[in-house]
Structure 1
Amino acid sequence: MPVCDNKAVLLCGLVCIVSADYPIEDYKAVAKSRDFTGSVVVVTGSSSGIGEGIVKLFSILGANVVVTGTTATKVQRVAKEVQELSPLKLKPLEVVGDLTKTSDINILIDSTVKTFGKIDVLVNNAGIYKLANITSPDLLLVWDQIFAVNLRDVVELIHRSVPHLEKTNGTIIDISSVSAIAPVKMFGPALPAAKAGINMLTEILALELGPK
């Protein structure tokens, strides 16, 4: 199972520039050379920001998409816009939940498979940022919160998704950060450490899952 196939390579390159307000015309220009019609794409944290941009791009490229987030009104707004952008006006699946909860991860994966019958692409985008330096009284609380959302739920999502992705020779895309490879004092220790974990996790899984 490829961690990033030929179609997804372009998307990996675009991750740095897509956002909720990225020009739709540029998305549509990409659609002329990439076709994801028939594919099922799950994008976590897609009710705003980079995730919203990614899920809109996949919709323009013809995919059936899953819009996820913690706030129902935001998920509903993005889902409506996503359907309008879809060439076939495909209705996205809306899933509201907290990915730090195993029960909500199970709902996300199970409802996707129940609705669309498969998963072709999993984009692990959901993340949070809170600042706490090494001397902050709440350092360990912030550390646990950031690792729960930015790393642990990625591991659990992949763990639950792999049986479905193996059936479709699917793709996993993990969203990292420049802070994972270049120390930036303003981010504090927790976020860079979690994102560095994402980078190594992705490399290890490329070795483990790539040959399948």
Structure 2
Amino acid sequence: MAEEDNSIFDKIIWTDEAIFKRNGHVNRHNSIYWASENPRIDIERDFNVPGISVWIGISSNGIISPFFFNSTVTGESYVEMLKDYFEPAVADWSDLNDFWYQHDGAPAHYSRIAREYLDEMFPDRWMGRRGPIEWPPRMTICPEWYGVGEAVINCGFCGAYVCEECYMRHLAMCGPDDEKQKVDETTKAS
């Protein structure tokens, strides 16, 4: 696909989630440590610490602002977010039919209901586990957390929080000053 048309990266809606814990930790399930030998890294785990799952999407058309899941993301809640939040956010994109939707192989993304929804919304134009384009495990070219999403993560990684509503408002305001320029730089760098 990429060999056929290098501009395809300009027509991908890159998406992902991260979980912000109340104690200030961020679960970035896509953090990968590459080494020729086992680095024997200890990763601190936070069990039973409340948190907020934050979804974000970016493309050459702009940022799809963060969406907050207050509980575990399931196939049903993921599709509900796509219908009630994502669809209205991209409804005015005149070129939406030219775009591809990308997500990873998280269980909610792999659910039958999510795959069926994406088959309807993006027929033969989505990437993910068991999608028209299989998303490879441990793929690292996804730009959303390396650019715009990283700004949200870094903004959220400022310490513990008490009020969930205040924290969500704080995260929603995070991001680069010139969103379009940052999105262009991020998607072009992919």
Shorter-chain TM range is 0.3 to 0.5
Higher helix share: 1
TM-score by length of 1: 0.31
Highest RCO, 1 vs 2 (Cα 8 Å, sep ≥ 6) = 2
